[in-house]
Amino acid sequence: MATWFITGCSTGLGRAFAEAALAHGHTVVVTARDVARVQDLADAHPAAALALSLDVTDDAQVAEAVRAAEERFGRIDVLVNNAGYGYRAALEEGDDADVRQLFETHVFGTVRTIKAVLPAMRARRSGTIVNLSSIGARICPEGSGYYAAVKAAIEALTLSLRKEVAPLGITAMAVEPGGFRTDFAGRSLMQAASPIPDYADTAGRRRKEHDTVHGTQPGDPAKAAEALLSAVESEHPPYMLLLGNDASDGFRAALDALRTEVDEWERLSRSTDFDA
């Protein structure tokens, strides 16, 4: 039995992760900005679940939540950084304050929780850190440049972290989901307030009012949660866990396209060293 600390458990994948971990007999700290939205999980599992308020952009709340989790269960074995939301805007349309808040939540919020749990994990020489990315970081759709950027940053941080903590007995991994039937494209999706007409046929096609995907995504959150538990509990957890056929297909297509372009420009790339 391990203790999981999961951010953003009110809906979607975060809630599915919490439910699966509890079903597998783990103890789980379920967090959300509004604790009332996760209290039912704690009420249903009074001995195994602890519901806490947590805004990952608040240093004091992160520190207090980790302290309360360790006081209740003694340790945090698995941190899942899931809290976040979508944001769609052409690059030129993005509001500066909205973009800063997006980075504050996804990137710096992830860093805050990692820094809060690592001292105890280092002391025990054990632990797993799971950071949620998105296939968007790989395929970079029009209108999702800012969201893809925060998820790409999380992936880069995770790979460096993995190399830093592996000698200490700690694992770090990134998860790239595709489209799952959650509220991501509904309530959890923000967008630029003032669209620019010139982007109507690119970023504009992906605005909420034009979105026909919500509620029809192919991914099953319960199956994603079971897959995550399998990966975390495996002998050698991966650096990158793709979730969904669309994620696997999109990743391979992006990789093939990048390899083709690298090959096409390789001679020029290799022409920039000093002559021997």
Question: Which residues are CB-contacts of 151 (< 8 A; sequence separation ≥ 6)?
Answer: 106, 133, 134, 136, 137
Closest by Cα among 174, 138, 181, 171 to 157: 174
Question: Which residues are CB-contacts of 187 (< 8 A; sequence separation ≥ 6)?
Answer: 11
- Spot the catalytic one: 10, 134, 151, 199: 151
**For the chain, what's the residue count?**
276
- Spot the catalytic one: 10, 87, 133, 144: 133
| Residue 148 CA: distances (Å) to CA of 107, 121, 220 | 12, 29, 22
| Residue 147 is among the residues annotated as catalytic for this protein | yes
| Residue 136 CA: distances (Å) to CA of 33, 82, 264 | 25, 15, 25
Torsion of CA 45, 49, 53, 57, to 10 degrees: -140
| Residue 208 is among the residues annotated as catalytic for this protein | no
Is residue 221 within 8 Å of 12, Cβ to Cβ? yes
Closest by Cα among 49, 56, 43, 46 to 17: 49
| Residue 144 is among the residues annotated as catalytic for this protein | no
Is residue 164 within 8 Å of 222, Cβ to Cβ? no
- Spot the catalytic one: 10, 87, 134, 147: 147
Please list the active-site residues: 133, 147, 151
